[in-house]
């Protein structure tokens, strides 16, 4: 749909995808370990989300900034 062509739309689109992945992953982690999603000392967010946030934010920003630049390069090459 062209959302990866501009930084202003690429980052939110990639963030939406990441949130969907985290929702599925944290839910599965809670089910698999038989622990609550958010309550208690041991929870699925602690195991399935928190350790990955910093790396995923860095990857999201890098991809959100570099993908539109790559599309510009490809469009110039295809002319």
> Cβ–Cβ contacts within 10 Å for residue 64, how many?
20
> What's the pLDDT at 78?
77
> What's the pLDDT at 31?
97
pLDDT mean over 38-65:
93
Alpha-carbon gap, residue 36 to 43, rounded angstroms: 5
- Average confidence score pLDDT of the chain: 90
Alpha-carbon gap, residue 59 to 45, rounded angstroms: 20
Alpha-carbon gap, residue 70 to 12, rounded angstroms: 18
Categorize the per-residue pLDDT at 9 as very low, low, confident or very high, splitting at 50, 70 and 90: confident
Categorize the per-residue pLDDT at 20 as very low, low, confident or very high, splitting at 50, 70 and 90: very high
> Does the structure show a pLDDT above 80 at 1?
no
> What's the pLDDT at 40?
85
């Amino acid at each position: 749909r062209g959302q990866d062509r501009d930084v202003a739309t690429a980052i939110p689109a990639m963030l939406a995808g990441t949130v969907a992945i985290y929702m599925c992953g944290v839910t599965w982690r809670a089910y698999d370990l038989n622990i609550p999603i958010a309550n208690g000392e041991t929870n699925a967010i602690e195991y399935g989300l928190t350790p990955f946030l910093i790396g995923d934010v860095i990857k999201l920003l890098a991809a959100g900034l570099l993908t539109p630049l790559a599309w510009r390069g490809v469009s110039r090459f295809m002319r």
